[in-house]
């Protein structure tokens, strides 16, 4: 018999396509000059978030996110992919920290601001801090 860790609730931990923010118009609305976006920083991650503007497809999730790891921060593609995977995994396992009182749909953008590779533990701590602050 396997035991489940008590820190992670046994809910659906999968990341679905509908949870990923990939529409160019939505990304432009999040980072545009007329955006109502807010931000937070917990090194090595920066969070930009805004309530969803306009209507989206009926199948989209309440909260959609994207991950950005700039080439300026990590020059090698293999390192950028590794950091994207670490950030995505930290979000997947800790999205239950998002406060339940959020009204409506929300768009999130996690931007890596660290220099060089960062351990998963540091990324996870930063992710928990950022998600709790929403």
Give the pLDDT confidence of 88-98 residue by residue, as tens digits.
999 999 999 99
Which domains can be identified in the chain, with CATH numbers? 17-133 (3.30.230.10)
28: exposed, middle or buried (Cβ count in 10 Å: 0-12, 13-18, 19+): exposed
Q: Is the pTM of this model over 0.75?
A: yes
**Looking at residue 112, what is its pLDDT?**
97
Residue 66 and residue 22 in contact, taking contact as beta carbons nearer than 8 Å: yes
Given this model, what pLDDT does residue 57 score?
60
Alpha carbon 86 to chain centroid, angstroms: 11
Q: Extract the tokens encoding 7.
A: 């820190």
């Amino acid at each position: 018999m396997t035991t489940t860790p008590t820190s992670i609730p046994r809910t659906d931990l999968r990341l679905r396509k509908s949870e990923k923010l990939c529409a160019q118009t939505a990304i432009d609305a999040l980072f545009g000059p007329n955006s109502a976006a807010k931000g937070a920083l917990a090194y090595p991650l920066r969070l930009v978030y805004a309530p969803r503007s306009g209507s989206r497809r009926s199948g989209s999730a309440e909260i959609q996110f994207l991950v950005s790891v700039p080439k300026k921060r990590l020059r090698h593609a293999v390192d950028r992919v590794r950091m994207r995977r670490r950030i995505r995994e930290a979000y997947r396992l800790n999205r239950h920290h998002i406060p339940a009182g959020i009204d409506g749909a929300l768009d999130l953008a996690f931007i890596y601001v660290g220099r060089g590779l960062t351990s998963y533990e540091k990324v996870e701590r930063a992710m928990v801090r950022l998600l709790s602050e929403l």
